[in-house]
Copies of this chain bind each other. A is one copy, B any other.
Amino acid sequence: MAASLRLRGAASGLRYWSRRQRPAVASLAVVCSRSMASKTPVGFIGLGNMGNPMAKNLMKHGYPLIIYDVFPDACKEFQDAGEQVVSCPADVAEKADRIITMLPTSINAIEAYSGANGILKKVKKGSLLIDSSTIDPAVSKELAKEVEKMGAVFMDAPVSGGVGAARSGNLTFMVGGVEDEFSAAQELLGCMGSNVLYCGAVGTGQAAKICNNMLLAISMIGTAEAMNLGIRLGLDPKLLAKILNMSSGRCWSSDTYNPVPGVMDGVPSSNNYQGGFGTTLMAKDLGLAQDSATSTKTPILLGSQAHQIYRMMCAKGYSKKDFSSIFQFLREEETF
């Protein structure tokens, strides 16, 4: 397997470079046209809100794409741009030996890989399959086993950062898989993200993302509770935030993404909780953390509670607001 893998992407002659070393370019059109001829095509399955801009960043870096999405409309834009659209994941696997999948749930990922017309039906030996979906790490491990049986390589590489980061190519990728294949993954992921972190064996990319987001949810709710309590006890919100940020309560949610309107500029709390990372998505990630904790018998007392809180918020009209709207949710006043 190693032998065949070594050939992958060789035509491009590129090595991975970090964002900082990347040279300023005269025009994207030039870059794209110049390299178009020399790169082997990359498969991309799942052209949703995140997949769409991610795929476009691969195009900008000169990779011809083999495209598939269950919704044909999602492919039209790419077809118009000259990329090749096929009719099932298996056909993607037939035409490309590097494939990126970006799908909403574990079930969609299983279907794309192991379904009747899934990747595994026609995957070539030595192919590199990178799943950027956020799914249960146990599912990632299962998929990896099946992929390995076919002589190919699977890596999980979920992303952190929303649609904005996807557009600007500033996503963070947390990558799990065989370490030897990491640089091959970096070549592609580096076109879409500014941080590509190696986390360990298959599934650890998902694990890292899930753990980070669980801690994020907990500290965001904690920040909202502490700010709300302080305000009710007579503290000025800006002053309280300043005190927390120079003390042991400091966290990303308090110093970079404060949930209280008016405390910071340029964050969702100061824009009526528009944009950012939706409550629905946080609830989904906490569901994955819960599943992983249940199956590994790991106690997550606050993580469970955070899951339930975001679940309730979804049912109370907050599903599309940024997850920092927990402050608004707690803030609603009693009227008696």
Interface residues, chain A, with chain B CB atoms under 8 Å away: 137, 160, 172, 174, 195, 197, 199-201, 203-204, 207-208, 210-216, 218-219, 221-223, 225-230, 232-236, 239-240, 243-244, 246-254, 256-257, 280, 283, 287, 289-309, 311-312, 314-317, 319-320, 330, 332-336
Residues of B close to A280: CB separation below 8 A? 334, 336
A93 vs B242: C-alpha distance when bound (angstroms) = 35
Residues of B close to A218: CB separation below 8 A? 218-219, 221-222, 225-226, 302
CB <8 Å contact, A299 and B319 = no
**CB nearest to A278 among chain B residues:** B336
Q: Of B226, B294, B302, which one neighbours A287 at CB under 8 angstroms?
A: B294
**CB nearest to A233 among chain B residues:** B207
The smallest C-beta distance from A72 to any residue of chain B, in angstroms, reads 23
Please name 5 pairs of A and B residues whose Cβ atoms are closer than 8 Å in the assembled complex, sorted by A.
A199-B239, A211-B227, A225-B298, A225-B300, A297-B311
A221 vs B219: C-alpha distance when bound (angstroms) = 10
CB <8 Å contact, B334 and A216 = no
Q: Of B203, B225, B240, B307, which one neighbours A233 at CB under 8 angstroms?
A: B203
The smallest C-beta distance from A330 to any residue of chain B, in angstroms, reads 5
CB <8 Å contact, A208 and B300 = no
**CB nearest to A254 among chain B residues:** B215
> What 4 A-B pairs are tightest by C-beta distance, nearest first?
A251-B251, A218-B222, A215-B249, A207-B233
A240 vs B304: C-alpha distance when bound (angstroms) = 20
CB <8 Å contact, B308 and A299 = yes
**CB nearest to A197 among chain B residues:** B243
CB <8 Å contact, A216 and B248 = yes
Q: Of B233, B243, B256, B335, which one neighbours A137 at CB under 8 angstroms?
A: B233
CB <8 Å contact, A301 and B305 = yes
Knowing A211-B240, A233-B203, A309-B301, the reply to whether A315 touches B291 (Cβ < 8 A) is no
Not counting A207-B234, A208-B243, A215-B254, a sample of 5 additional A-B residue pairs whose C-beta atoms are within 8 angstroms of each other reads A204-B234, A208-B240, A215-B226, A233-B292, A247-B252
CB <8 Å contact, B320 and A336 = yes
